[in-house]
Amino acid sequence: MIDFRYHLVSIVAVFLALTVGLVLGTTMLQDPLLNTMKSETADLRGQSEELRAERDDSELLNAGADQLTDAVAGDMLEDRLLDRGVVLVASPGADEDVLLALGGRVEEAGAEVVGQLLLEEAFLDVGSATFVDELALQVSTEPGDLSGNPYDKAGTELGRALAAKNGQTDDDGNEDDADGDTEADGAAGDEDGEGGLRHDASTVLSAFAEGGLLTIEDSPARSADTVIVLAPATAAPEDDGERANTALTSFTAALHEQVGPTVLVGGTETGRPGGLIAQARALDPAYATVDVAGRPTGDLVAVLALAEALSGSGSAYGIGEGVTGFLPTPLPGPVEPADPDAESDSGSEADAEADTAAEPGVEDEARRTVPRNGE
């Protein structure tokens, strides 16, 4: 039989073992353990100080780069976007300060910010997709030609409304001005010469604004030669991020197709996996992308990328995966100013040379001097 004395001895033995263990742990093992912990702590402290020093150096270098950018930006951007009309499109959640800075750089390049479209949260809301689709079809003069998702259609219609139409004529041969007015009536009409509806840019923009999908600043209707689309400052929630990014990339591609030179810009986070620009680059877009906007140097790169896009090329710039380089190389050159008298002068010269060619004895010489196909 196991009696009380047996239990008492067992309990005493357990406590004795614990006591011996504590004594050994606080004497024989104390010094080696503490020395190891102190050594590891010192190493971690040293690494932390090195990382902090590197961070401070990087911040100083970035600040110096920004100062250098501000000093040389005027020369680097001079006439790169000469006489172009630029529309700034801000995604929901875009940084207003970055948008303002981009506008300043655009003007340094000789362009004019003719207007802004500020997309509202409702534009990308999952519950608004059907409304966006229906509205694009309602304002379109050719709804049967619209295809793709709702943001393809919205981008197409808004792009048509923004695109500059200088020099185009209606069916009666009257030339449209930048506001969609004709020389014949001096006011915006909504019918063409055959009685059909004509694309009314201001009405299209107003329809999207009145629908609570965007806010319009200034007068961008029929004024855009180029477009800058600014990405959100913060990423959408993970469960909704891919859908929102898909909507914005579709929208930007449609704007590019209608207007022409376009650049999608954002901060460094947009170029990382899951970011808007990273997702856009995976589709190998025809428009340019820049993932370093938000600092003077990055804003300069964005405008240089837009200037390069004037030639029909568009590439990826910044520091994210898949970029061509940090900035365009070689840098795009200045745009030659338009000469309104050049066309008439060249026409007069061609007529004079053609008259000379009609004279006897100079026909062969005339063949060598009369311009062919505008050359």
CA distance 276 to 264: 9
Domain borders along the chain are 4-60, 80-317, 345-375
CA distance 220 to 202: 9
Single-letter amino acid code for the residue at 261: P
pLDDT for 46 equals: 87
CA distance 183 to 312: 32
3-state secondary structure of 43: helix
User: What's the chain's length in residues?
Assistant: 375
pLDDT for 194 equals: 38
CA distance 160 to 254: 10
Question: 115, 124, 114, 116: which is closest to 93 by C-alpha?
Answer: 124
Whose structure tokens read 């901060």? 267
Token pair of 268 as six digits: 């460094």
What beta strand segments (E) does the chain contain? 85-90, 112-119, 214-218, 226-230, 262-265, 288-290, 316-317
Whose structure tokens read 């990826």? 316
CA distance 283 to 261: 18
38 phi, psi to nearest 5 deg: -65, -40
CA distance 17 to 353: 117
What beta strand segments (E) does 55-184 contain? 85-90, 112-119
Asked if residues 166 and 122 have their Cβ atoms less than 8 Å apart, the reply is: no
Query: b/e string for 190-212 if b means 16 or more Cβ within 10 A?
Result: eebeeeeebbbbbebbebbeebe
Whose structure tokens read 């357990």? 14
CA distance 268 to 213: 27
Asked if residues 307 and 332 have their Cβ atoms less than 8 Å apart, the reply is: yes
Which helix (H) or strand (E) element contains residue 96?
Answer: helix 96-108
3-state secondary structure of 231: coil
Asked if residues 317 and 305 have their Cβ atoms less than 8 Å apart, the reply is: yes
pLDDT for 182 equals: 39
CA distance 71 to 120: 36
Complete edge-to-edge strand list for the sheet that includes strand 112-119: 214-218, 112-119, 85-90, 226-230, 262-265, 288-290, 316-317
CA distance 338 to 343: 10
CA distance 339 to 173: 24
What beta strand segments (E) does 4-101 contain? 85-90
Residue 191's DSSP bridge partners are 197
pLDDT for 19 equals: 82
pLDDT for 42 equals: 86
Question: 120, 102, 315, 87: which is closest to 210 by C-alpha?
Answer: 120
Residue-by-residue pLDDT tens, the chain, 375 positions: 567 777 777 888 888 888 877 766 666 656 676 778 888 888 888 889 999 999 999 899 989 989 999 999 999 999 999 999 999 999 999 999 999 999 999 999 999 999 999 999 999 999 999 999 999 999 999 999 999 999 999 999 999 999 986 434 343 434 444 344 433 333 344 444 333 345 689 999 999 999 999 999 999 999 999 999 999 998 766 668 899 999 999 999 999 999 999 999 999 999 999 999 999 999 999 999 999 999 999 999 999 999 999 988 789 999 999 999 999 999 999 988 865 554 445 455 545 444 444 444 444 443 333 333 333
Asked if residues 82 and 335 have their Cβ atoms less than 8 Å apart, the reply is: yes
Single-letter amino acid code for the residue at 244: A
CA distance 38 to 148: 63
Question: 254, 217, 267: which is closest to 103 by C-alpha?
Answer: 217
